[in-house]
Structure 1
Amino acid sequence: MPMSRRQRAEYEKTHLWRVPYDTSPRYLAGPGDARHVTHGLAATGWTRTSDPLNPHMVLTSPDLTRRLEFTPEPGHLSSWWKLTSLPTDTDPYWWIDLGQLVPVEILGSLTDALLGAPPAGQPDPWQSVPSAGWSREAENKVLSADGMCTIELRNRRYLPAPDDAPAWHIETHENSFDGHPGRRIWHASFHENTPAHLVNAFVAALTDTTPLVRGMYDSAAHHTAAKTQSRLTSERVVAAHNTRLDALRAQARTVRRQQRPTTTQPPAPPEAPAPARC
């Protein structure tokens, strides 16, 4: 279903008065506006299946196989976002679990990839990590230049973990003086069955050096994040949001048309021979 005018107007009311600031690195920019994710899903037919009066939100896909839970509660610090895919005849069960301060643009890159048609071949998420600025800590672990973000592919053969242990794990954390990661800022854990193109979309958005746009007085960004006034105007920020929603809606329509089974009329039965005349 398309976004309503009222929903778009509420988003505009929030952002038109803000002075946009470019904030980097991306993983320290703060969460941003959750509607970047929820509006994108709603524009492609996802519906709210939870109590509208409860801040806990559940959005469900049109085919009922996928759901996104958003739990913005102070006592729920370990995980504010959870994306789940139910098993089908062709796809296994998987989930993605994300912390409170994950930037919504990075999560949105993943949900955008989920809404499109899956690629013919699954990519290698490591290829999305740019070589400049990130260092390899181990064979399956890289570290950002400031030491505050790690991307790790965990090998279950060496970890005593339950059956549904995540394979990919990303964590942004404070630096400490003893060489070990400090307090965790946010995390993203991926179940081992998560399609690689979704992990790839998330990692590519995470390591992108393009700043994220935040409001001038947005205090959710980390104190070490760099902020400079953006060349974008607030009007262009709102226009970009609406353009993205329209593009996602058109993409979803195309995918549904491609997935729609083709029906053919069965051949007409042969005509019965005319009865012989005496």
Structure 2
Amino acid sequence: MSRKQWQGWGPGEQAEQHYLVEPRALAGGGDLRHVSEFLRASGWRDTSTPGGPLLMESPDRAVRISYDPFVVPGGWTIHGKATGQQDEWWAQLGRQTPVEIVAGLTDALTHPRSARAPNVWEPLQDQHWSTEPLPGHYRATSPDGSAWMQFHQDGHGSAMWWSGARDQQGNGWTASFSATTPMHLVQAFSAALASPEPAMRPRGRVPHSAAIRTTSVSVLPSQLSAWQQARITAARAATWARNSVRSNRPRTARPHAHTGGARARH
């Protein structure tokens, strides 16, 4: 285990010990606020009740996100309503799914969809995951073998995405996505899953696993606050920009038919 010390400490602050954990897929759940505060800053409603599970709802009420640790197996549930050409969809992520990976999916819910066709496997291949096409499914595995992403389709045409991470002691998590889950969201998840960036965990919150590597770092509370605030500020700025574009779009008056007072249909 190595140790690093951050520079630029101010007077009157006591450094706190944290750990950078690699691979991030085995870093444990983490702080839920990494997900919820970003969504709140992006205009999502927090409908949680005191002492109950976390419940978030998108501004258009089309998507709901919950985190419930009080049920078995517990964890994250994301549900999207059928809208327009999009069928109803869902995703379920286990309780120990790192919040950094959950946020890969939930952050993407607040961003405009890219015009580029999504490719779930591209982020994994970019990080040198091995791929294995088999009858009925396609699987990618991380270089250390601890994490995987799989697409499965049975003989009846039913399909599902399945992912997760596990160490030799059996610690880990799984995630599943309906076949109707928008592909750009599944790709956002796979990119966060494959990211080589470590996850930071405070002392006492590091999983006991022989499969992880840790680097001890001394961090000031003000630094942690600044990093968290930067993420929230970015979400607010993006939300403001989107709302400004919508409000500044010129509105075209709908023409009316002159006969019978009825509106002309296009």
Q: Same fold (TM over 0.5)?
A: yes
- What do the CA deviations read for 1:40-82 (whole angstroms, capped 9, x no partner)? 11111111224x2232121111111111011012x422x4101
Instruction: Flag the structure with higher strand content.
Output: 2
CA contact (8 A) 1:116 1:255 kept: no
One-letter amino acid of the counterpart of residue 63, structure 1: D
Partner of residue 80 from structure 1, selected from 75, 78, 81: 75
Cα distance between partner residues in 2 of 1:174 and 1:224: 6
| 1:41 alignment counterpart | 39
Matches within 5 A, 1:11-160: 18-50=16-48, 52-73=49-70, 75-77=71-73, 79-130=74-125, 133-139=128-134, 140-157=138-155
CA contact (8 A) 1:133 1:144 kept: yes
| 2:121 alignment partner, SS class | helix
One-letter amino acid of the counterpart of residue 98, structure 2: P
| 2:262 alignment counterpart | none
CA contact (8 A) 1:47 1:60 kept: yes
- What do the CA deviations read for 1:208-257 (whole angstroms, capped 9, x no partner)? 11111111332446443111123765432321110111111111222233
Say which one has the larger Rg.
Answer: 1
One-letter amino acid of the counterpart of residue 251, structure 2: T
How big is the shift at 1:202?
A: 1.1
Partner of residue 185 from structure 1, selected from 157, 172, 180: 172
- What do the CA deviations read for 1:175-222 (whole angstroms, capped 9, x no partner)? 3xxxxxx84620111111112221111111111111111113324464
One-letter amino acid of the counterpart of residue 162, structure 2: H
One-letter amino acid of the counterpart of residue 60, structure 2: D
| 2:164 alignment counterpart | 171
One-letter amino acid of the counterpart of residue 95, structure 1: W
CA contact (8 A) 1:213 1:230 kept: no
Q: CA distance change for structure 1 residues 154 and 234 in 2, over 3 Å: closer, same or farther?
A: farther
How big is the shift at 1:135?
A: 2.2
Q: CA distance change for structure 1 residues 93 and 133 in 2, over 3 Å: closer, same or farther?
A: same
| 1:54 alignment partner, SS class | coil
Partner of residue 263 from structure 1, selected from 230, 248, 251: 251
| 2:211 alignment partner, SS class | coil
| 2:204 alignment partner, SS class | coil
CA contact (8 A) 1:69 1:83 kept: yes
Partner of residue 223 from structure 2, selected from 236, 243, 247: 236
How big is the shift at 1:19?
A: 1.6
Cα distance between partner residues in 2 of 1:69 and 1:27: 20
Q: CA RMSD in A?
A: 2.5
Cα distance between partner residues in 1 of 2:127 and 2:105: 23
| 1:250 alignment counterpart | 237
TM-score normalised by structure 1 residue count = 0.76
One-letter amino acid of the counterpart of residue 167, structure 2: E
| 1:270 alignment counterpart | none
CA contact (8 A) 2:165 2:174 kept: yes
CA contact (8 A) 2:26 2:166 kept: no
TM-score normalised by structure 2 residue count = 0.80
| 1:4 alignment counterpart | none
How many residue pairs get aligned? The number is 238
Cα distance between partner residues in 1 of 2:152 and 2:211: 28
Cα distance between partner residues in 1 of 2:181 and 2:254: 40
Structure 2: which 5+ runs fail to align?
A: 1-13, 256-266
CA contact (8 A) 1:60 1:67 kept: yes
Identity level (%): 30
